[in-house]
Amino acid sequence: MKEYEIKKISDYKWELPLNKDFKMRVPGIIFSDKELLEHASQEETLAQVINVATMPGIVNASYAMPDIHYGYGFPIGGVAAFDMDDGVISPGGVGFDIACGVRLLRSDLEYKDIEKKMENLMGNIFTSVPKGIGTKGRIKLTEREINLIFKNGAVWAINNGYGDEEDKYHIEENGCMAGAEPLNVSREAIVRGFEQVGSLGSGNHFIEVQKVDEIYNKAAAKRMGLSVGQITVMIHSGSRGLGHQICSDYLKVMQSASKKYNIILSDRQLACAPINSPESIKYYSAMVCAVNFALANRECLAHWVRLVFEKMFNKSYKKLGMDLVYDVSHNVAKFETHDVNGKEKKLCVHRKGATRSFGPGCHGIPDDYKDLGQPVIIPGDMGRYSYVLLGTKKAMHESFGSTCHGAGRLLSRTSARKKVNGKELQRELFDSKGIIVLADSMSSIAEEAPIAYKDVKNIVDIAEKAGLSEKVAKLVPLGVIKG
């Protein structure tokens, strides 16, 4: 393990100074407390922050969010912005589960309304939503339809009866990201996507029925329709096998492109190409297809959940007040305009395991949240809590409008399985906290054990103290469906 010079800027911000010996073009900036910084040092994550700092055209710094942990190429929790003229695009800076993200549904229900129905409610959601590796969804697509999803995202789902027209206004990019080109998606990726719309997937993906436990910003919570004791539903999923295949396909393309454009890589996993090169243009347009696929997927998942609530309570989801609070992705590259040294510049911002956290008044925030800032949804682990936050003006200068995306893993899936018995954990969570956890396999539950994750409260507190986002509400789990 290498020793790196680390300069303390504040209790929650640290710098890896620009070091020419490491071929760094910019410094590394890590938003963390001392304890989490030490953990990142031990798992070689700092080396990944430094590697990203060596990439052509990187602007200001290589950033790491408080939930940083080791990833492919970029660290998970890594953020980097690249100049349009001499910068690059790298699939490793987006990740395999393109546009994996989180959406939050509110309701007019309170815990007393569902307390005696929880077991049936969770059982019905479990049987209504396809999940797990390779699982087929409830929607079978034609080639024409999957191309329409690539172009229209969640809007396709809404237009086909799998969502509500009002939803799109509370989805990042209004439910559809521009720039998709289906011709740049491989046949292998399309085949993997044909039957996966409306499916949860595996790993850390989940559907969680929650209760609002605490409010920190009453005015913002009221605007979002959140109040203490209220029932909410959080959905965490992404672009499934399709996004994974697109990433895999273009990593091969970028390996060749890096050589073609004489880009010296500090890590081959950072394979990249100039932003305006044919390779990057094709990757970006394929990535957008995966983004829109993920947005459609979460819209359909929310639709299945709403239908279960309708059946359980014999009311329409509209009468139950099951409106979308917000839907935000955390594995994506976007072209955005930011202030760089007092000048407005268009950049390509990579966020891998990091959430956009735009401050009040910024472009891209829904009109009814414009003066508040962009909603940020941060899931924790299935035994503790999750948070709703808002983006800040400070984040625009500190991190290109970025914040954390979750708790961040402490243990690998393999390590978690060795330490935890899934059946025992399932029983313990119910007996001690009343949390109902359902999954197709006990190993899935073991992999997602609370001890496998950092305490998301610490992560969120660091993000808030560093000025990257501010807390609005805390949500606690009542029932969890694991992928």
Spatial distance between the Cα atoms of 187 and 454, rounded to a whole number of angstroms: 39
Residue 63 near residue 80 (C-beta atoms within 8 A): yes
The closest alpha carbon to 100, from 240, 199, 197, belongs to: 240
| Cβ within 8 Å of residue 133, ≥6 positions away | 201, 202
Antiparallel, parallel or unpaired: β 386-391 and 331-340 = unpaired
* 405 in active site: yes
Residue 257 near residue 249 (C-beta atoms within 8 A): no
Neighbours of 319 (CB within 10 A): 11
Spatial distance between the Cα atoms of 254 and 259, rounded to a whole number of angstroms: 9
Reduce the DSSP state of residue 59 to 3 states and report it.
Answer: strand
Tokens encoding 458? 């610490």
Dihedral, 480, 155, 93, 344 alpha carbons, nearest 10: -130
Residue 107 near residue 233 (C-beta atoms within 8 A): yes
Out of 244, 303, 330, 405, which one is annotated catalytic?
405
CA distances for 168 relative to 129, 180, 214, 314, 325, angstroms? 21, 18, 27, 25, 11
| DSSP E strands, 307-460 | 324-329, 331-340, 343-352, 355-356, 375-378, 386-391, 402-403, 436-438
Q: Which residue has the tokens 């910003």?
A: 217
Spatial distance between the Cα atoms of 280 and 57, rounded to a whole number of angstroms: 14
Residue 322, φ and ψ in degrees, nearest 5 = -85, 70
Spatial distance between the Cα atoms of 32 and 77, rounded to a whole number of angstroms: 11
Give me the active site residues, please.
405
